[in-house]
Amino acid sequence: MRLSTTLISPLLKSAGKAGAIALVALTGAAVSQGVFADSGPVGDAAAGSKLTTACQACHGTDGNGLAPNYPNIAGQNERYLLRQLLMIQSEERSAPLMAGQLNGMSEQDLRDISAFYAAKEPKLAQAQGDDVQIAMAKQLYKGGSIEKGVAACTACHSPLGSGNAAAGFPRITGQSPEYTIAQLTAYREGVRATDEAYGAMMRQVAANLNDTEIAALADYLQGLH
């Protein structure tokens, strides 16, 4: 059984702030227990290593981005990586810098690339904000905000930001603040819609975050572990 966005989205809109928070948390739990049931990616990291020459220009040899606007994909879970690569290849997800990079690759190639980067060691930095900013981000991440209708990020991304590999929820710790800010802002503005299969959960959450909160979360997440 697969959760339907036609079912989830109306429920989120009508549930009210507290109810929406609970629904997002329950949806995350349901997905993690196998509601999105498939066998998951089965990739060969050794085979994937031979397919990453072009990737290294932005993601380095170890999957840690070479510039703040490039995502760190080292240690990212395979299911999430595979889904994003497939969406980029089909142009369902816009990624201009990757235009043409995946042309001619089979799904197994993408599975192998995903396995290769998932096996790499991610790098972490340290939060740079002051005590007030870090406290605000920690509260949003771990407890959410009933007043703003923001669910706790831990519901899907785990207390330490490592995500949920079985459900395909990404690892979000260790990214540069610039990259995290760009993604949360894109979700908030509806520019990024790669959460459609999950009832638009990220857009529902990000819609209620202001620039200050997004920046604080991005700073906090770069060192969460």
pLDDT at 12: 47
Give the chain's length: 225
pLDDT tens per residue, range 20-49: 555 555 555 444 444 444 556 689 999 999
pLDDT at 11: 45
Q: How far apart are CA 223 and CA 78, in angstroms?
A: 22
pLDDT at 189: 97
Q: How far apart are CA 3 and CA 13, in angstroms?
A: 16
pLDDT at 83: 97
Smallest Cα–Cα separation from 124: which of 175, 81, 164? 175
Nearest-10 crossing angle of helices 5-14, 16-32: 150
**Paired residues of 145 in beta bridges:** 150
3-state secondary structure of 169: strand
User: Which tops the pLDDT comparison, 23 or 206?
Assistant: 206
pLDDT at 162: 96
pLDDT at 1: 36
pLDDT tens per residue, range 123-138: 889 999 999 999 999 9
pLDDT at 40: 65
Q: How far apart are CA 180 and CA 194, in angstroms?
A: 15
For residue 10, is pLDDT > 50? no
Domains of the chain: 5-35+125-221 (1.10.760.10), 45-118 (1.10.760.10)
Taking all residues of the chain, what is their mean pLDDT, rounded to a whole number? 87
pLDDT tens per residue, range 71-118: 999 999 999 999 999 999 999 999 999 999 999 999 999 999 999 999
pLDDT at 182: 98
Mean pLDDT computed over 179-199 = 96
Q: Can you read off the two tokens belonging to residue 54?
A: 């072009």
pLDDT at 42: 84
DSSP class per residue in 197-217:
GGTTHHHHHHTT--HHHHHHH
pLDDT at 6: 42
For residue 68, is pLDDT > 60? yes
